[in-house]
Chains A and B, each alone.
Chain A
Amino acid sequence: MGKVVLVTGAARQLGGRFVRRVQREPGVDRVIAVDVVPPEHPLDDAEFVRADIRRPAIGRVLAEYGVGTVVHLDVSGTPLGSGGRAAVKETNVIGTMQLLGACQKSPTVERLVVKSTTSVYGAAPRDPAVFTENTPPKSLPSGGFAKDAVEVEGYVRGFARRRPDVAVCVLRFANILGPSADTPLADYFSLPVLPTVLGYDPRLQFVHEDDVVDVLMIASDGPRRGTLNSGTFNIAGDGVLLLSQCARRLGRPTVPVVLPAVTWVGSALRAVGVTDFAPEQVRLLTHGRVVSTDQMRETLGFTPSYTTAEAFADFARGRGAGLVPPGTAARTVDGLSRLVTLASKERIRHG
């Protein structure tokens, strides 16, 4: 049939991987990769179009190539190259508005996939332990990427109302990890010593970047038999890791900081440029967030190949050992237990 797929945010790792993957799909005729800067990674046979989704020019791209499927991945928390938070926000919000406006005008678009995040649920002590797709957030994210995502989802809902003929799929990803992931949480876990909030041990969920690409493939294609791939879905690996477990598995010591001081530590780290320790990030690292993936399994028909723990293990392998690698700690304990055995044997021989 010859489908034309347009992918935004192609200059990022995730966008690049998806572009390379989707062009190998049998039904796909052409892949148009869009971003403001040319990507550093290869896009193979895909056509790169340098366009800014914040400008109306994106509408011309849609019309020119007769795009049928739009995969909007340019919703991100970190700036690409230079540019501050303001530029990120503008790309997220204004970019989505422009893109959706262009899609609304386009007669050829029949499918829209949008990358979102589970941080739209916020994180608060009054929240239920597990969020489903329908859980209303108790405290809406007050700023940062989470707020952008809430606004993006609002525009997408409006678009779905105005163009009921377009299949719209919103994928709320848990924290994406993997060897090449460039998310704020991955930056956080790369710190030599992890600052944590004193007296809180948040529950975290991860999704592996391979699974992200796989689920994007499912969402950007026609629905498979017995499944429905339009709607909103939480995407996360099975199981839960506590932050303390993550730190031990990485072998990085933690420094508990009292909650009011966390923001100072965060801004100090940001000033040094180490990591983006945004308030929403602090909230996640305080209260944690776990989502239900029943809809993903039953309706979307997707089963992630990595559990939360496996995704984290794969990420940890790519990061190198921390200051106290778990292997060393385990060997210390083993040595201790050998010592005990030896001592007891010795005692029996003498006594």
Chain B
Amino acid sequence: MADAKVLPFGDDPRPRRGTGGAGGRRQHAKDAAGKRPSGRQGGPLAPVPEPGAPPDGREAAREPVGAEGAPPGQDSAEDSGQDSGRDGGNGWERRIASGLAFLRRRVTGDYPVDEFGYDEELTDQVLMSLIRPLYENYFRVEVKGIENIPSDGGALVVANHSGTLPLDGLMMQVAVHDNHPADRHLRLLAADLVFMLPVINELARKAGHTLACAEDAERLLRRGEVVGVMPEGFKGLGKPFGERYKLQRFGRGGFVSTALRAGVPIVPCSIVGAEEIYPMVGNARTLARLLGVPYFPLTPTFPWLGPLGMVPLPTKWTIQFGEPIATDGYPPEAAEDPMLMFNLTDQVREQIQHTLYKLLVQRRSVFF
């Protein structure tokens, strides 16, 4: 099975920057292409997996796409693809061929990027494959209610935020990417700190994230994208372990007025498991201020064990997407009504909090 061969690519967090890293990049491309054949170029849609189908079934269903996975216009790649098809579908060669086609587009700079800097091809074939092992094997994320994200048109996914490092956002992105039958991509809104850090900002933009501001959110929603936002921000991310699963204030509710102005539904999302990955028992405020970060976490292992302390605990995660809350019934001026905004914000917050409690009751153990 193709699945078993895909390994996490060591400790190289930047797969494609190194100027001399052609070999390493080819490796990624090969593996990535095998994992997710370039179905985007192949046809309108990859075969649709049943929601909640086992991963094996999904890979098997995608397998046929790989046969014509080489994008048009790449003669040599197509040749080899057809050849190997004649030779009885040798998956290995096919994978190399589509990997090389991918590499060819990368080295010549011939790939599209949207106005937010989202590099769909890189995200699908490399970045997703890099975090998927974490998603599938480490946190073993279970996804519920993916059908609550509409198959077309914009939607605003509002989730709780926790875990000291924003891994929950990335997991939510993989969850939508791998499970949604219409192949939707979640566009996350990130804090400005993300865009100040070198390397991180570059990867975030390429993965489709953008700054959490009303302008960007509205622009994305009007284009019909699924936008993910975590209104708790750093208050939720950096809350002490003792306050786990207690939702913080939802900002000023700006996300509700943005959704209202764009007329898109709000999908509440509850993430269980992220709270325990780095149990934050203390906060070195002075150090945080010195480093210019919102908090400096002290966990039972970090910073005492050094880099080893940065390994998250292997908790079992559940991501549940809740019933969408429609916003298209309100008149346009409703976005200016503060009472309505507060009520809707509370409604979303309550729904997420209740689902969190429900999921926590159902959970057998933190790790299984």
Contacts and interface: CB of A to CB of B under 8 A. Distances in A.
Given A201-B206, A333-B107, A340-B96, A125 B196 contact: yes
A272 interface: no
B26 to A, nearest CB: 8
Contact of B201 (A125, A127, A340): A125
Nearest to A134: B215
Interface in A240-271: 240-242, 244-249, 253-254, 256, 258-259
Given A127-B211, A128-B216, A241-B113, A334 B198 contact: no
A329 to B, nearest CB: 4
Contact of A130 (B104, B195, B200, B215): B215
Contact of B80 (A125, A197, A258, A340): A340
A345 B216 contact: no
A148 to B, nearest CB: 26
Given A200-B198, A330-B107, A341 B115 contact: no
A107 to B, nearest CB: 42
Contacts of B119: 242
Contact of A128 (B90, B93, B197, B213): B213
B243 interface: no
A223 B37 CA distance: 51
> How many A residues are at the interface, by size bracket?
35 or more
Contacts of A197: 198
Interface in B72-99: 76-77, 79-80, 83-84, 87, 90, 93, 96-97
A338 interface: yes
A162 interface: no
A330 B211 CA distance: 35
A259 B104 CA distance: 30
Interface in B306-333: none
A200 B113 CA distance: 15
B162 interface: no
Contact of A135 (B19, B90, B198, B215): B215
A336 interface: yes
A350 to B, nearest CB: 13
Contact of A203 (B79, B108, B117): B117
Given A125-B196, A329-B108, A345 B202 contact: no
Contacts of B196: 125
A326 to B, nearest CB: 4
A1 interface: no
B171 to A, nearest CB: 23
B199 interface: yes
A333 B211 CA distance: 36
Interface residues of B, number: 47
B114 interface: yes
A324 B84 CA distance: 31
B109 A129 contact: no
A344 B117 contact: no
A83 interface: no
A132 B219 CA distance: 11
Interface in A296-326: 326
A304 B273 CA distance: 50
B210 interface: yes
A337 B186 CA distance: 34
A348 interface: yes
Nearest to A198: B198
Given A340-B96, A341-B79, A247 B211 contact: no
A146 interface: no
Interface string B115-136: 1110100000000000000000
Contacts of A161: none
B111 interface: yes
Interface centre among A240, A333, A344, A345 (most CB of B within 10 A): A333
- Best-surrounded residue of B114, B198, B200 (most CB of chain A within 10 A): B198
Contact of B216 (A130, A256, A326, A338): A130
Nearest to A199: B198
B123 to A, nearest CB: 14
B96 to A, nearest CB: 5
A290 interface: yes
Interface string B186-218: 000000100111111110011000110101100
A287 B100 CA distance: 31
B76 A199 contact: no
Contact of A247 (B109, B197, B202): B109
19 contacts: A125-B192, A125-B201, A126-B195, A127-B211, A128-B211, A129-B116, A129-B117, A130-B219, A132-B215, A199-B202, A200-B201, A201-B202, A239-B115, A244-B109, A249-B108, A332-B107, A333-B100, A337-B77, A344-B93
Interface of B: 17, 19, 76-77, 79-80, 83-84, 87, 90, 93, 96-97, 100-101, 103-104, 106-117, 119, 192, 195-202, 205-206, 210-211, 213, 215-216, 219
Given A199-B202, A203-B117, 11 more contacts: A128-B211, A130-B215, A197-B198, A240-B117, A248-B107, A332-B107, A337-B80, A337-B96, A340-B100, A341-B79, A341-B93
